[in-house]
Amino acid sequence: VMKVHAEAAFASLVLFLVFTSGLAWAGGQQGVHWSYHGDHGPNQWAQLSPDYELCKSGKSQSPIDISAPSRSNLDLLSFHYKDTPLNILNNGHTVQVTYGLGSFINLDGEYYNLLQFHFHGPSEHTVDGKPMPMEVHLVHKNTRGGLAVVSVMMTTGKEHAAIEKIWSSIPAKVWGKVN
Residue type, 48: L
- Cα–Cα distance between 92 and 175 in angstroms, integer? 7
| H or E stretch covering 90 | strand 87-90
- Cα–Cα distance between 139 and 19 in angstroms, integer? 10
User: Are the beta carbons of 20 and 62 closer than 8 angstroms?
Assistant: yes
- Cα–Cα distance between 117 and 79 in angstroms, integer? 14
DSSP-derived 3-state class of residue 141 = strand
Tell me if residue 137 is catalytic: no
DSSP single-letter state for residue 47:
H
The active-site residue, picked from 93, 120, 125, 137, is 93
User: Which residues have a Cβ under 8 Å from the Cβ of 2 and sit 6 or more positions away?
Assistant: 8, 79, 80, 81
Please identify every residue annotated as catalytic.
Answer: 93
